[in-house]
Amino acid sequence: MKMLDIDMDFFQIGIHCFGKDCNTFLTDENITVWKEKDIIDFLEQRCGLSKSNKIKGRIVKHHVEAYSYWNDLINTGEIKIPFEVTHIDAHSDLAYSHSVPFYKFIKDLNNEELQAQLTKGIIFKGREQLIDSGNYLLVAIIVGWVDKVKYVFHPALDYLDVFDYIVENIEPNKLFRFNFCNYIKKKDVYLEMISSQSFGKEHDEKYDYATIALSPAFVKKEMNEKLDIIREYIEIN
């Protein structure tokens, strides 16, 4: 089972970092949005999407909502776990959380009650949010939903935006293994780095579902209009 997971901030020239989920769009003049033709070419030529054969999926405002959608698909039996995620984004979403410090997250990994709660979707502990757009993908791995991540990184990204104590480099700048898997007694999970230039050229990927995140805090307002392009390829469920 394969999940296509796209953040609309990938379709911009330039990257906005250290943002926090909100409904306010960027006004950064140094960031510009891809042309419509370029987005269509990427969706069709690199992702293999087709307007005549739409893929089931959901368009969400904040990327953390993808976690809830995956939870719904699992609970209804539409997808089986574990599944593979192709994550196309200007950020890895593998622990840069504004909701909970990662050291605390690691400390609580063996807490069976917490893990049981995490499998139910987005949760709060009092007023403390434990899952957000910066760590939802990591959480999906921890609870056993995801067994491999293919991270298609932004053209402007010149470093791996994952803490080095989270992953171990197996093949230089290409393949990584999550360090915490042995700690929580789960089988190895791997992260494969794929450049935007090479993605889709060597493999004929077929995806079962898709999640598309607008991420207002990280994109220009005109990106909201670009969602109309995406809707032509998605059968909303």
pLDDT tens digits, residue range 31-48? 999 999 999 999 999 999
Q: Which of 55-59, 208-212, 216-220 has the lowest mean pLDDT?
A: 216-220
pLDDT tens digits, residue range 137-152? 988 888 889 999 999 9
Q: Is the pLDDT of residue 155 over 70?
A: yes
The predicted pLDDT at position 57 comes to 97
Q: Is the pLDDT of residue 87 over 80?
A: yes
DSSP codes joined into one string, the chain: -EEEEEEGGGGEES---S--S-SPPB--TT-EEPPHHHHHHIIIIIS---SSSPEEEEEESSTTHHHHHHHHHHHTTSS-SSEEEEEEESS--SS--SSS-HHHHHHTTT-HHHHHHHTTSS-EETTEE---TTTHHHHHHHTTSEEEEEEEE-TT--S--S-TTTEEEEETTTEEEETHHHHTT----EEEEEETTTTTTS-----SEEEEE--GGGSBTTHHHHHHHHHTTEEE-
Q: List the domain range (segments joined by +) for residue 209.
A: 2-236
Domain count along the chain: 1
